[in-house]
Structure 1
Amino acid sequence: MTAPTVQDDTAAQELALDPFAQDLLFRQARTANAFTDEPVTDEQVRAIYELVKWGPTAMNSQPLRLVAVRSKEARERLIKHLSPGNRDKTATAPLTLIVAADNDFHEHLPTVFPHAPNAKDAFADPEARAGAARFNAAIQLGYLIVGIRAAGLAAGPMTGFDADGLSAEFFPDGRHRAIAVVNVGKPGPNAWFDRNPRLDYEQVVTTV
């Protein structure tokens, strides 16, 4: 796979990350829709988590929770909640991660937090806490995708599923809420859709 042409070499040179790492994490990286049968090991999953856990979240809330789907029985339970277009690729992926937000993440916060006398009090309201859980778990999902790429693997994140059904299936106590499903592995034949264009700097950045 060839990296997209860097439109501004000067901008790329401003980065501390070497060009190979830039390509691995961003320019060459793609969302995979097909995978080989090469396994993804528990050691690789642990290494990915040990890297991405350092990414910042609000008040270090860390609501991300992962379920590694490996068994045939668990995969069948998962697939029935996916949109039809996501089922076949998930059935053949070597590993699928259910990404969830822990609505009671505040239980893991320290009693005393810098600049907040009682961090847990900041998340006392259940509705506000659930919103914070989803938002910060989504941030961590972004870190997770980059971490998977850092391991030399491809990620296939999906949000096409019945969130209520999937959450009830795997998190019946209601504490966790599924926010994404990510297939993980080495990309197989015809793994890529056509790449859509990205917005230019001038379309995104405003200086005031």
Structure 2
Amino acid sequence: MKNPADSTVLDLAFRQARTFNKFSDKPVSEATLREIVTLAQWGPTAMNSQPVRYVFVQSAEAKQRLAPTLSPGNLAKTLAAPVTVIVAADSRFYEHLPTQFPSFPGAHDMFAGNATAAAGTAGLNSHLQGAYFILAARLLGLDCGPMAGFDTAKLNAEFFPDGRYQAQFLINLGYGDASGNHPRGPRLGFEQIASLI
């Protein structure tokens, strides 16, 4: 039987974690980005499909490519963040299923012949993986500012012109500066969101 995580871990992942709008200028190393991705990859996905693809936008040139796709409210904070992660879905994730999910030999053909099912599976599971990424980053001492607020068609045209990948959401990533945080909003209670049947 596993022991539950201690209070410090729960605070890092959930209770004390915040959506950050401002970050220090401390850079995020490539080694840290690799560690986040490696840790997050252990989260479950349907048929071990792992459709998420990450683009780490760090350089000034890359940020300028991203800027025209952002809503005005997200522009300044995104340009200032050390890293902005484009969380995308690979529309042809099923090409990897023969090795990633060998227990079901028909998995590849099931999605290759059904674009609607492939898109739904890619979208749902890349969102799950993006959430795992946020938790992994928090547990490794970083802060996140996940967001929508961008023109998906423009972003896809700029970063994924062949159409294979589709942006799902963005995450500003770094070492947070709490002076940019809004007051924390309340959460709905158990009885409002859950039922026991």
SS of match in other structure, 1:79:
helix
Higher helix share: 2
Alignment of 1:124-139 (within 5 A): 124=112, 125-139=114-128
Instruction: Show the counterpart of 1:158.
Output: 147
Instruction: Show the counterpart of 1:55.
Output: 43
Structure 1 residues 43 and 16 mapped into 2: Cα distance closer, same or farther (>3 Å)?
same
Instruction: Show the counterpart of 2:191.
Output: 202
Q: Displacement of 1:191 after TM fit? A: 2.2
Alignment of 1:137-156 (within 5 A): 137-156=126-145
SS of match in other structure, 2:98:
coil
Sequence identity percentage = 50
Counterparts of 1:43 and 1:37, CA distance in 2: 17
Counterparts of 2:56 and 2:171, CA distance in 1: 10
Q: Displacement of 1:130 after TM fit? A: 1.2
Counterparts of 2:14 and 2:68, CA distance in 1: 32
Counterparts of 1:193 and 1:123, CA distance in 2: 42
Counterparts of 1:122 and 1:27, CA distance in 2: 40
Where do 4+ consecutive residues of structure 1 move more than 2 Å? Answer: 111-114
- Give 1:74's aligned amino acid: A
The alignment yields a C-alpha RMSD, in angstroms, of 1.5
1:88 aligns with 2:96: no
SS of match in other structure, 1:144:
helix
Counterparts of 1:71 and 1:94, CA distance in 2: 9
Instruction: Show the counterpart of 1:110.
Output: 98
Structure 1 residues 189 and 28 mapped into 2: Cα distance closer, same or farther (>3 Å)?
closer
| TM-score between the two structures when normalised by the length of structure 2 | 0.94
1:167 aligns with 2:148: no
Q: Displacement of 1:73 after TM fit? A: 1.0
Counterparts of 1:147 and 1:47, CA distance in 2: 9
Q: Which residue of 26, 29, 32 maps to 2:17?
A: 29
Structure 1 residues 189 and 146 mapped into 2: Cα distance closer, same or farther (>3 Å)?
closer
Does structure 1 conserve the Cα–Cα contact (< 8 Å) formed by 2:98 and 2:105? no
* Segment drifting more, 121-130 vs 76-85: 121-130
Counterparts of 1:172 and 1:70, CA distance in 2: 20
Q: Displacement of 1:70 after TM fit? A: 1.3
Report how many residues are paired: 194
Does structure 1 conserve the Cα–Cα contact (< 8 Å) formed by 2:78 and 2:172? yes
SS of match in other structure, 1:39:
coil
Q: Displacement of 1:189 after TM fit? A: 4.8
Q: Deviations over 1:116-149 (max 9, x none)?
A: 3311122121122112111110011110111110
Does structure 1 conserve the Cα–Cα contact (< 8 Å) formed by 2:20 and 2:181? yes
Gaps of 5+ in 1: 1-14
